[in-house]
Structure 1
Amino acid sequence: MTTKNSNGTLLTTIENQIATLEFGHPASNSFPRDLLARLTRELNDLSNNPAVSVIILKSSGSGAFCAGASFDELLAVSNQEEATQFFSGFANVLNAMRNCSKIIIGRIHGKAVGGGVGIAAACDYVFATNESSIKLSELAIGIGPFVIEPAVSRKIGKTATTEMTLDTEWKTATWAKEKGLYAKVLETATELDQEIMAFANKLSVYNPEALTEIKKVLWEGTENWGTLLYERAEISGKLVLSDFSKKALNQFKK
């Protein structure tokens, strides 16, 4: 299935019980609200699809993996309700990944910022390349990584998340692997795809019920995300309306 409009593309292919879910957007694979909603729906559909045992989540092109939230949409929000709804889009995606009955393999081929780091953290097993640096730049634009923090902290711990949050500079793919965000880091995109397909093919022949049950075990202790992430979206929604945040977003956009 393919959905394509001015708010980005979403492509799903299913072969040998492996679903490959690819999102894309011209602005460094950033996420407007519509694309977040489509990704959430597709993850929920794949979760209930008996023809799928494992999901590969990837993004388009050879540049950035994901630049996080769409700056254009962040600048366009004009009230608390709109702003909270925007950040709730990321909460919806993370909860869909958490609740998905399938193991999700992340293909991180390039840099990930903000929400892109959160999506990588919510994957169950992640492959990356040496180009896959990560950054949480939210404090620099007047907000903070409130919605994605639970996903990032679950994967790399509070100490490393604190380091990323307060020091808003790039962290290397090697750093991300040492902290546990990435399981494997490869030299090239070709090697990345070879490793991912070998791993996905291995998982796809395992007992689907066993995979579903182990997924539940791996995500134990996150049951409060159904409310927590939306409370965090409210905090971000309030902060993004501040004069500080508007000025910073305009500066970053330039």
Structure 2
Amino acid sequence: MTESLSLVRTGHVARVTLNRPQLRNAFNEEVIAELASTFDTLGRDPSLRAIVLAAEGKAFCAGADLNWMKSMAGYSWDENKADAGKLAEMLWAIYNCPVPVIARVQGDVYAGGVGLVSVCDIVVAVESAGFCLSEAKLGLLPATISPYVIRALGEQASRRYFVTAERFSAAEAHRLGLVHELADSVEALDAKVDALAGAIAANGPAAVRACKKLVQDVAHQPITPALRDDTARRIADIRASDEGRAGVQSFLNKSPLPWI
């Protein structure tokens, strides 16, 4: 990959690592482009079962790179819009990636970094990590990341932390649902992440991708006749698929699952 990002593939699991520890893994234009391109490529790999998004150093991601922010200080409205659009597309590339993404949060998460965590499907964090939506401190707002943060953190908590820009703990992030699992050490963090990736990889590959899309498509939708019909069609599709038929037959015959 590059100096800013590394990619390691082990079996059916890929690990994407932010590698700018001296800059607290902050974003700049190059990092945003690399993340978007990497997740777009990984999402088109049918053999991939899970992706771990990790970071080197003490911080997971501190948001925007200060040097990048300096370069944007004199931008026009149109330039600011185009720049923000690139961040929006990167976040969408991760959120919309058909492969489940696990965030391995080993340190502090600030501003756009909270957005990066929010687009992941599963979040595991060390107990010492802190979170902060710090944009308002600078006279800004977390607009581009807001669709994902509000979904992950919840509307009421977002009302508070968007306007106060307070730091909150990993324990609080866990209580609010942004973080799924807490770990008391980096070793425990890695063990939990590996266990989750292994659990995903043991399931039907097509079923896992369909499950991820199901949640995104059904969440917050009114339970209308059209939605009920759509969910019935989805289960019929997968029951009739080669993977679905093989899985049911393996279960009934108590034989090994073909994808393991």
State how far apart, in whole Å, the 2-side matches of 1:119 and 1:128 are.
13
Q: In structure 2, what is the equivalent of residue 21 of structure 1?
A: 16
Q: In structure 1, what is the equivalent of residue 224 of structure 2?
A: none
State how far apart, in whole Å, the 2-side matches of 1:216 and 1:97 are.
13
Q: 2:99 aligns with which of 99, 102, 119?
A: 102
DSSP 3-state at the match of 2:94? helix
User: Normalising by the residue count of structure 2, what TM-score does the alignment of the two structures yield?
Assistant: 0.80
Q: In structure 2, what is the equivalent of residue 125 of structure 1?
A: 122
Q: In structure 2, what is the equivalent of residue 46 of structure 1?
A: 42
1:134 aligns to 2:128 (yes or no):
no
Counterpart contact for 1:74–1:83, Cα < 8 Å: no
CA RMSD after TM alignment = 1.3
Q: Where do residues 1-254 of structure 1 align in structure 2 (5 Å cutoff)?
A: 2-4=1-3, 9-25=4-20, 26-61=22-57, 63-77=58-72, 78-220=75-217
Q: How many residues align?
A: 216
Q: In structure 1, what is the equivalent of residue 242 of structure 2?
A: none
The letter for the 2-side match of 1:214 is: C
Q: Percent identity?
A: 27
State how far apart, in whole Å, the 2-side matches of 1:131 and 1:218 are.
30
Which structure 1 residue ranges, 5 or more long, are not aligned?
A: 223-254
Counterpart contact for 2:39–2:94, Cα < 8 Å: yes
Which structure 2 residue ranges, 5 or more long, are not aligned?
A: 220-260
Comparing 141-150 with 68-77, greater Cα deviation is found at 68-77
- Highest CA radius of gyration, 1 or 2? 2
Spell out, residue by residue over 1:34-80, the C-alpha distance to the aligned partner (whole angstroms, 9 max, x if none).
Answer: 1101100000000001221100001112x111000112112212222
The letter for the 2-side match of 1:95 is: W
Counterpart contact for 2:115–2:149, Cα < 8 Å: yes
Q: CA deviation at 1:85?
A: 2.5
User: Normalising by the residue count of structure 1, what TM-score does the alignment of the two structures yield?
Assistant: 0.82
State how far apart, in whole Å, the 2-side matches of 1:221 and 1:169 are.
32
